Chains A and B, each alone.
Chain A
Amino acid sequence: MSISVSHISKSYKKVKALQDISFEVKPNEIFGLIGPDGAGKTTLFRVLTTLLFPDEGVAKVMDYDVVNDYKKIRNCVGYMPGKFSLYQDLTVEENLTFFATIFGTTIEENYDLIKDIYVQIAPFKDRRAGKLSGGMKQKLALCCALIHKPQVLFLDEPTTGVDPVSRKEFWEMLKRLQQKDITILVSTPYMDEAALCDRIALIQDGKILEIDTPEAIVKHYPKQIYNVRANNMYKLINSLKDYEYNHSVYPFGEFVHYTDSRTNFNPKDLIRYLETKNLSNIHIDKTVATIEDTFMELAK
């Protein structure tokens, strides 16, 4: 296993940041930690990159123990923290040279690995890192995390605050890195990125809710979900919440995702009920669960 985490717990004073976390990441896998702010993702990254001691449990990266073998781990992993942590007043090229030197290597030696990404920021190599746009900072940070050819790459919310075009490009880069035999642990608060991982762990309040492939996780959803729409969204949500048979009611873009508590649910009954609430243009269609539906059902 590239990463193995066994019963890890970590608390800060009263806050239990991680509670009995266990999972494994296979060699060459893209494994996603999917959860909102405050779920414990960053704490977990800091434990795995040897920056923080766990209170309990054992964690290994490339078979090295995070407490006893921390120096070895630091040599074989790359870490891109959520907060931009490069030197703002060094240029693009100076930052990269700095990180290469720290790890006893040179840009030339591992240029192959970063080439695809670096060519995109090379035109700005003399610009100070602090003056780069969000998308470019992210690319530079990834280059710096890769320059010593790590076996495992830790990416803490690499796409937060980045527009959809840059996000898509970023995931394409990760897929290419995977083909170069790098194992990737990546966290994101965006559920739509879960589908791009090989396996994911849904995490909230320091606990793992479920671990599986994205396809299997949505298949485990226990109920039939219906897309409901009507002429007034606010009234529709309130009416559905007042409906005695509802199991869950969540706005989902132009629809409301509705599940019913009965086994013999007939959508026509719901239409009739909504009509008594003075709603019109009512449409009810079956739909399939998304990762977000699953997350909310598990977090309930």
Chain B
Amino acid sequence: MKNNNVIHIEGLTKMFGDFAAVNAITFEVEKGEIFGFLGANGAGKTTAMKMLIGISKPTSGDAKVAGFDVFTNAEDIKKNIGYMSQKFALYDDLTVKENITFFGGIYGLSRQRIKEKSAVLIEELRLEDVANKLVGSLPLGWKQKLSFSVSLLHDPKIVFLDEPTGGVDPITRRQFWEMIYKAANQGTTVFVTTHYMDEAEYCDRVSIMVNGKIEALDTPKKLKEQFKVDNMNDVFLKLARG
């Protein structure tokens, strides 16, 4: 494992009976990189990600995430990563502050640290006026930005984002990507799974999974050149349709 790699995967495989949901995938992700993990519904993205975040044991292969082995140190991985999903993010019936305190506590931050983090985060996101309002009452875009910040509370080495900006208005979504660039610039690795190809265009490198295998992996620019098309959507269609 090179010093600069925070994810190192080799021949990672997950079998369900005779079916290889993830079939010997190999790749590396660097510190501070924004890495896009794409694939059609059912291509194996979710299964692969579950192995990377330490909640599903691979059938075979090697995988080190944030310096820890997924076979033997899954619990350490969980402490060193952040995770944000579009579907489940925060508790709607807790306030903004309560959510921050709750997740801070889960990640083992001290009360003092939570207090400090909470103040900075609320100021940065300009949530002062709604800090004591229920998260459920906030617009989707605010929730998404808050949820991303909460996933970074414990300064994880890697943050996993599952379709982070689906349905959000175009301006808010750009504010969201600016937050991602900021985190990456500070050295946090950002691992994004999505099937929206315009999100893929923001990534430093992108991998595309088809039927359990990684069929392409490069920068969006090079992939577009390789497949002689103008956008990632067409790259995806060419690969997935064969």
Contacts and interface: CB of A to CB of B under 8 A. Distances in A.
Contacts of B219: 254
Interface stretch (A164-172, A262-270, A273-281): A164-172
A295 interface: yes
Nearest to B139: A38
Nearest to B177: A251
Query: Which 3 pairs between the two chains have the least Cβ-Cβ distance?
Result: A253-B201, A36-B169, A234-B185
Interface in B151-175: 166-172, 174
A189 interface: yes
Contact of B236 (A164, A189, A237, A250): A164
Tell me what chain B mostly uses at the interface: helix, strand, loop, or mixed: helix
Query: Which of B139, B172, B174 has most chain A Cβ within 10 Å?
Result: B174
Interface stretch (B7-15, B51-59, B118-126, B192-200): B192-200
Interface in A28-42: 35-39
Given A134-B41, A253-B201, A160 B167 contact: yes
Interface of A: 35-39, 133-135, 160-166, 168, 189-192, 204, 232-235, 237, 250-254, 292, 295-296, 299-300
A251 B174 CA distance: 6
Contact of B41 (A133, A295, A299): A133
B198 A192 contact: yes
Nearest to B171: A296
Given A165-B237, A251-B202, A253-B202, A299 B40 contact: no
A101 B84 CA distance: 44
A135 B41 contact: yes
Nearest to B39: A163
25 contacts: A36-B140, A36-B141, A36-B167, A37-B140, A37-B169, A39-B169, A133-B41, A133-B42, A134-B41, A161-B166, A163-B195, A164-B40, A165-B240, A166-B40, A189-B166, A189-B167, A190-B196, A191-B170, A192-B198, A192-B233, A234-B178, A237-B178, A252-B201, A296-B174, A299-B170
Contacts of B241: 165
B41 to A, nearest CB: 5
A95 B172 CA distance: 39
A288 to B, nearest CB: 12
Nearest to A252: B201
B169 to A, nearest CB: 3
B220 interface: yes
Interface residues of B, number: 36
Contacts of A166: 40-41
A35 B198 CA distance: 16
B33 to A, nearest CB: 12
A250 B201 CA distance: 14
Contacts of A300: 171
B71 interface: no
B196 A237 contact: no
Query: Which of A164, A165, A250, A300 has most chain B Cβ within 10 Å?
Result: A164
Given A164-B233, A253-B220, A37 B167 contact: yes
B64 to A, nearest CB: 27
A164 B182 contact: no
A234 B186 CA distance: 10
Nearest to B186: A234
A251 B237 contact: no
A80 to B, nearest CB: 17
Query: Which of A163, A192, A296 has most chain B Cβ within 10 Å?
Result: A163
A37 B184 contact: no
Contacts of A296: 170-171, 174
B167 A251 contact: no
A232 B202 CA distance: 13
A37 B181 CA distance: 24
A101 B62 CA distance: 55
B113 interface: no
B203 to A, nearest CB: 9
A255 to B, nearest CB: 9
